[in-house]
Amino acid sequence: MAVRQSRQRAVGRAVLLLALLLVLCCRAAAERIRYVIPEELGRGSLVGPLARDLGLSPAELPARKLRLSAEKQYFTVSGESGNLYVSERLDREEMCGESASCSVSFEALVQNPLNVFHVEVAIQDVNDNAPHFLQNNFQLEINELTSPGARFYLGIAEDPDVGSNSLQGYELETNAYFEVEMKESQDGSKFAELVLRRALDRESEQSLRLVLTAVDGGDPPRSGTAQLCINVTDANDNPPVFAQDRYRTSLREDAPPGLTVLNVSASDADAGTNARITYGFGKMPAKVLQKFVVEAESGTIRLQEALDFEDTRAFSLAVEARDGGGLVAHCEVEVEVLDVNDNAPEITVTSVSSPVPEDAPAGTVVALLKVRDRDSGENGQVWCELSGEAPLSMVSSSVGSYKVVTTSALDREQASEHRVTVVARDRGSPSLSSRASLVLEVSDVNDNAPVFEEAAYSAYVAENNAAGAPVVRVRARDADAGANGRVSYWLAGGSAGAAPYVSVEARSGAVYAQRSFDYEQCREFAVAVRAQDGGAPSRSSTATVRVFVLDRNDNAPRVLWPASGSGASGSGAASLPAAFEVVPRSAEAGYLVGKVVAVDADAGRNAWLSYELVQASEPSLFRVGLHSGEVRTARAVSERDAAKQRVVAVVKDHGQPALSATATLHVVLAESLQEALPELSERAAGADSPAELQFYLVLALALLSALFLLSVALAVLARLRRAGPPAVLRCLGAQRFSVPGAAFPADFCEGTLPYSYNLCVAPARAVAEGAWLPPPLPSVPAEELLGTEPCGKPSPSSSAGAGEPPTDAPQERTGYAPSTHIRNQVATLRGSSLVMGSDERF
């Protein structure tokens, strides 16, 4: 006895542990509770503790408002205990038909907060149905000549139960001639066939009455019986034969009544009445006989009632062919029903939470929907969407169940309510759809920041503006009201150094210049303006103001080359040009003399430069490129042209008004460097420019008016000649230059040639009169003229890059280089006691 009690306690603990594990497994599933109960439970039977399995205590039930959502209420939930009970009779065969599994799914809804749980109750089959035949009596006529082994179709016994409780086999009353065998068709149905094991003899036994029994596999098993009456007929030894044992066809479920399904045909080798065949259906359920009819003479099977795929997906027809002698042949016709998209999706709104605050986070559940389509396959596949402008979306929670959730923050100022349409479409062809309206109200909170009319502002201000001048006005609007909509402005940063340029008025948003702008120092800058409302907490936004400074023509062109200025002069010598160009007298028209290089600090049209020739010793000899600034010969150089030319070019910009600058270029017409150097010394002592010519003209007029003084001067001169030549005039003798002196210009090396050089005369040698400068030229020491020490030793003033072009002058001159002839002349000078100091840039 003690052992039995301990075993019972162990079993009880095991059962309790199993129940606990089952509850935990149910709770672990993704919000799905599953119960298993047998069918035919009485009303009020307990299914399971639903509230406890959902994690709800009895104290929470009144506030959470637990309820069920289902189309047909098979179950109910207690508002006090939260237990799930049966509310009406559960007949598995009525609910699920021949399906192997049967379950009822529904949702359990709770409020505060809103949530949904999916509950599934599996209905287990019990052996509550006995097999039964469609008819109580079977009449068979079998010819006595029928060979053993012949088979006769007896039909199907039906058992609504499933699994082991369904039909398991057939049994036949013991006899000497027949046995029964069970066959299974392709659709799984089990039918009985009568098998002749021994030849019949009508003379010994004209008829047989046997009991046919159908048995299921329940515990205890159930059975059903039918009477089998067999009449032995006289010899008709050739039964009808069908062309096929099994026919297959398919029909769309929208096929109209009267449509021909199939033609069956059988033949009989007998003759006369024994070969006359009639067709008919065998024993079949009344539901099948209502759908189809067969013509007795032709064997044509026609549809007589509309089909419904959702009701029955296939039919199995038993067709008989009977000859005039009573022999019967059987064949099976399988009719597959094809689904047609004839059912639109059904939308059910389970719950709606309205109104929703506009600061509700994204993902807030606002409604629960359920959608289903009675079709199958693609015709039954449904997809849902929301039609309408609203920050809502649908999320599938389970098969056929959807949640409507917010996708972003709501804004009551833009829309105080959202009206959307739930559209459910299946994937059939053509597609069917259903619609349901959903209205969601939005409650207000303070959630709007000021919004600028433009994200970025651009302002254009001409330079040299007055301080305090208005630049631009920014404006932001706030959809809120009162203090929340009152906007103020201030600067909130910007590009480096931009803040001191402008200021913003707090109320109006007007941006003013703090000082005058200079295009050459700052062409553009950006500042950030922040707009803030008066809410608590306040909200703000920022816009960028980009100010573009417009250029004015306030900078004249600046000449970089040739550089303006004058070279150093020796004792008693006139000023020499700072830069010069050497042009051979053999130069043709278009020869590149030099190039005027200028820049303008302005921009745009104010910096577009053009070049014009305004003054020249020989205006017809030179021309200046309008845009390039290149000075070229306009014609070939002639012998009549003066050796030294002075060209003045003006550089203008295109501003309004235009500003200009001038550049002076000195040109020496000479075939070689030796020829150019004396010419430079001559021109330095003489007067070649128009101003000098005017000076000498005035001087000549003065001399004409002073003839008396000239006569006196001549008399004094004659007296002095008789006394001997003065020391001043001794330089006019055969030796032009004194031993320590030379007569070369001091700054000839500062021309625009792309090389520099220094010259000096050896103090121990004299230069022949005809080789250098013509008279009259006073004797000047070479060190003073050239600014060098004797024998090529540079003086301190000329050692720092004498002859170098200005640092801002162009360093390259295309097509402009010293000729080989000039190099040869320099070499000749080296051999004639003239020393040339070069910077190695030949």
Q: Tell me the pLDDT band of 773, cut-offs 50, 70 and 90.
A: very low
Regarding predicted confidence, which is higher, 162 or 266?
Answer: 266
Per-residue pLDDT at 819: 36
CA pair distance 450, 483, nearest whole angstrom: 12
CA pair distance 153, 282, nearest whole angstrom: 9
Per-residue pLDDT at 691: 59
**pLDDT tens-digit map of 170-228:** 999 999 899 999 888 877 788 889 999 988 887 788 888 999 999 988 888 888 999 99
With 0-12 CB in 10 A as exposed, 13-18 as middle and 19+ as buried, what is 62?
Answer: exposed
Average pLDDT over every residue of 719-723:
80
- Give the contacts of 607 (CB within 8 A, at least 6 positions apart): 600, 601, 653
Q: Tell me the pLDDT band of 241, cut-offs 50, 70 and 90.
A: very high
Regarding predicted confidence, which is higher, 356 or 799?
Answer: 356
Question: φ, ψ for residue 335 (rounded to 5)?
Answer: -115, 115
DSSP for 312-377, written as a single string: -SEEEEEEEEE-TTS-EEEEEEEEEEEP------EEEEEEE--SEETTPPTT-EEEEEEEE-SS-G
Average pLDDT over every residue of 775-783:
35
**pLDDT tens-digit map of 497-545:** 666 888 899 898 899 998 888 888 888 889 999 999 888 788 889 999 9
Predicted TM-score (pTM) of this structure: 0.38
- Give the contacts of 714 (CB within 8 A, at least 6 positions apart): none
Average pLDDT over every residue of 749-769:
34
**Does position 73 have pLDDT exceeding 50, yes or no?**
yes
**Does position 268 have pLDDT exceeding 80, yes or no?**
yes
**Does position 26 have pLDDT exceeding 50, yes or no?**
no
Percent of the chain past pLDDT 70, that is, above it, reads 76
Kind of pairing, strands 660-669 and 580-583? Answer: parallel
**pLDDT tens-digit map of 318-342:** 999 998 888 899 999 999 999 888 8
Mean pLDDT of the chain: 76
Per-residue pLDDT at 685: 45
Signed CA dihedral, 535, 537, 543, 545: sign only: positive
Contact 526/495 with Cβ under 8 angstroms? Answer: yes
With 0-12 CB in 10 A as exposed, 13-18 as middle and 19+ as buried, what is 727?
Answer: exposed
Q: Among 246, 233, 243, 293, which Cα is nearest to 268's?
A: 243
Kind of pairing, strands 433-443 and 356-357? Answer: parallel
**Does position 458 have pLDDT exceeding 70, yes or no?**
yes
**Does position 757 have pLDDT exceeding 90, yes or no?**
no
Q: Which helix (H) or strand (E) holds 664?
A: strand 660-669
Per-residue pLDDT at 579: 61
**Does position 730 have pLDDT exceeding 80, yes or no?**
no
Residue 186: both structure tokens together: 């392709």
Question: φ, ψ for residue 33 (rounded to 5)?
Answer: -110, 135
Largest CA distance in the chain: 200
- Give the contacts of 290 (CB within 8 A, at least 6 positions apart): 304, 305
**pLDDT tens-digit map of 291-317:** 999 999 999 999 999 998 888 889 999
CA pair distance 745, 574, nearest whole angstrom: 9
**pLDDT tens-digit map of 136-150:** 888 888 888 888 999
**pLDDT tens-digit map of 573-616:** 334 455 678 888 888 888 988 898 988 888 888 888 889 888 88
Lowest-pLDDT range of 565-569, 643-647, 732-736, 747-751 = 747-751
Lowest-pLDDT range of 414-423, 472-481, 671-680 = 671-680
Per-residue pLDDT at 689: 53
Written in H, E and C, the secondary structure of 464-528 is CCCCCCEEEECCEECCCCHHHHCCEEEEEEECCCCHHHEEECCCCCEEEECCCCCCCCCCEEEEE
Regarding predicted confidence, which is higher, 697 or 592?
Answer: 592
What are the beta bridge partners of residue 328? 322
Contact 180/170 with Cβ under 8 angstroms? Answer: yes
